Chains A and B, each alone.
Chain A
Amino acid sequence: MAGPYVLGISSGASLGVAFVILGFSSNITPDSLKGLGNWILVAASWIGAGAVMMLIMVISSRVKDIMTILILGIMLSSGISAIVTIMQYFSNETMLKAYVIWTMGSLGNLSVSQLNVLLISVSAGVILSLFSSKMLNALLIGENYAGSIGLNVRFARVVIFACTSILAGSVTAFCGPIGFIGIAVPHIARILFKTSDHKTLIPGTILIGAVVMLISDIISQLPGSESVLPVNAVTSLIGIPMVIWVILRNRKYSGLP
């Protein structure tokens, strides 16, 4: 259940982006960013995502109850939204418009130079995530057992932390905080592939995620009409029922991984 959106990691990335778009000059908008600017945007997003991720990890090393962690994550993302709202209030019209459009999410507003940045960061994240599949499998049985079979739990935490921050951060920076894909898809992959092995689940999740995202994007383009819906709204409308279904289906298992 602990998706990046619920835990506030996407919100953290948004905060980073908000600092760049709303905080500096009115000349910077996602469209006008070129070259180095792209990297600044992505880095801000990573730092935002990483900071929230770090907080969540500090909390989760003390609090073992997953429900408490989820609730704290929701509180955290509400707090971040509040900060962003204040920043919005004090920003000018152009910046505000650029930011609001960014929050609606879009797969389309990317230049080639932005795509390059995205390609490099996402590739790095995917390679790291494949590298962590053995560690994730060990962590399925809990930190104690994972340690007893030879996993360096602290190292694993750092790798998974870096991987999540890079992936969530870079995608959020360019496509906006797109919700519910991150929670729903891994569960769908578990149900479809009927395995707990991350060697299968990670590629499976990437595939299903891409498919669901493209379907959402097609719907948001409203085929046969001129207008375009915010893709964030579409993924929420598709994702929420899926998440509810997964929760009801999995009630027999306490403490979802």
Chain B
Amino acid sequence: MMKRNSKEILSLDSLKIGYGSGKNENVLLPPLNASADNGELIAVIGRNGIGKSTLLRTLTGLQQPLGGEIFYNGKNIRDYSRMELAQMVGYISTEIIKVSNMRVYDLVALGRFPHTNWIGKIEIRDHEVILDALKKTSMEQFSRKSISELSDGERQKSMIARILAQDTSIMIMDEPTAFLDVAGKYEILHLMHTLSDKSDKTIIFSTHDLQMAINQSDKIWLILDNKLIEGAPEDLMITGAFDHLFDSSTVLFNSEDGTFSFRSETKGSIYIEGDGNKRHWTEKAINRAGFTVSKEKTVPYVIIPDSENYCWQLSGQSNIQECSSIYELISCLAGR
């Protein structure tokens, strides 16, 4: 076990999570040990239903641990009052908030809940924090817009602004990019990255996008059925930890670039002549069609288009077929 370092903000010690109590206790996972440092972006990875959301809810204090301890800044979570915890940890779930007549400003202002007086009066200082949160998430121009009129990405950004207004050093997000398109995903991820980098926020988020997690996070908590493995994404790649996530008879995980492919019966191997971008994508297409790329010359083989002749040549035993696109090339291969 690692020694507790001064930057450590969260540590889990033999944490048991699950539902129920007494005889009906349903423990989801074996005891978990993990830690997080200040300012880290941590991705929680695991198959559907393994207990990622339960873990995140337990860390937020919305659910009691069934055993073991959670320490924030070296102090047990049980010793924090609800208000103190709310000034320390913010939370975004996958729940979509639908309230009529609520403006983005009102939603973000709710983040001030643990800081305001008994009736929830927004003082000048609170107002400044709210404006700053809106600015950091570039949502200023939406501040008076009703939350029911926002796009998925804008809604997620206003939720992030809400925890920024809550002014917590830890942000816990359950699948923050789940409903978003690719551009939206990267925008949110970039925002999370900036917050952990520039504002020193510790962000713990769950995701199913393994590639994104590997590329962007400082650390991964990989939850498997029998244990939690933590480490830099690259460390987990090297030790082959991700292989346990998949049924390796059907899915092939490429530990060099973190991509997946389906493992299927190979239909044969094909040699490709040519270089560059077009070769890269032709290889992909040929793999997808169920062939492997051979290093030695085979029959049939494919010649990549060059600057003079824009067509893929598929040379068989006796004939040569010319295809004007990869789509045609694959049809020709399938038709053989």
Contact = CB atoms under 8 A, between A and B. Distances in A.
A252 B101 CA distance: 13
A241 interface: no
Contact of A148 (B86, B98, B116, B119): B86
Interface in B103-133: 106-107, 110-111, 113-114, 116, 118-120
A147 B62 contact: yes
A137 B85 contact: no
Interface string A122-141: 00000000110110011011
Nearest to B121: A199
Tier of interface size on chain A: 20 to 34
Contacts of A199: 119-120
B202 interface: no
Interface stretch (B87-95, B233-241, B265-273, B281-289): B87-95
Given A148-B62, A199-B119, A134 B100 contact: no
B2 interface: no
Interface in B297-322: none
A130 B114 CA distance: 18
Contact of B86 (A133, A150, A250, A254): A150
Contact of A149 (B99, B102, B110, B118): B110
Closest 6 CB pairs of A and B: A150-B86, A134-B120, A148-B91, A150-B114, A149-B113, A196-B102
A141 B110 contact: yes
Contacts of B110: 137-138, 140-141, 145, 149
Given A141-B110, A199-B119, A150 B93 contact: no
Given A144-B62, A149-B110, A255 B98 contact: yes
Contacts of A256: 100
A150 B93 CA distance: 15
Given A150-B83, A195-B101, 18 more contacts: A131-B118, A134-B118, A140-B99, A140-B110, A142-B95, A145-B93, A148-B61, A148-B62, A148-B90, A149-B110, A150-B82, A150-B85, A190-B100, A190-B101, A196-B99, A196-B101, A196-B106, A199-B119
B166 A149 contact: yes
Contacts of B83: 150
B118 A144 contact: no
Contacts of A137: 110, 113, 120
30 contacts: A131-B118, A131-B119, A133-B120, A134-B119, A137-B110, A137-B113, A138-B113, A140-B102, A142-B97, A144-B93, A147-B60, A147-B61, A147-B82, A148-B90, A148-B91, A149-B111, A149-B113, A149-B166, A150-B82, A150-B83, A150-B87, A151-B113, A152-B82, A195-B106, A196-B100, A196-B102, A197-B106, A199-B119, A255-B98, A257-B99
Nearest to A131: B118
Contacts of A151: 82, 113
Given A140-B102, A190-B100, A194-B101, A149 B114 contact: yes
B99 A145 contact: no
A194 B110 CA distance: 17
B26 interface: no
A253 B148 contact: yes
Contacts of B61: 147-148
Nearest to A254: B98
Interface string A142-167: 10110111111000000000000000
Contacts of B111: 149
Max chain B C-beta neighbours (<10 A), residue from A144, A148, A194: A148
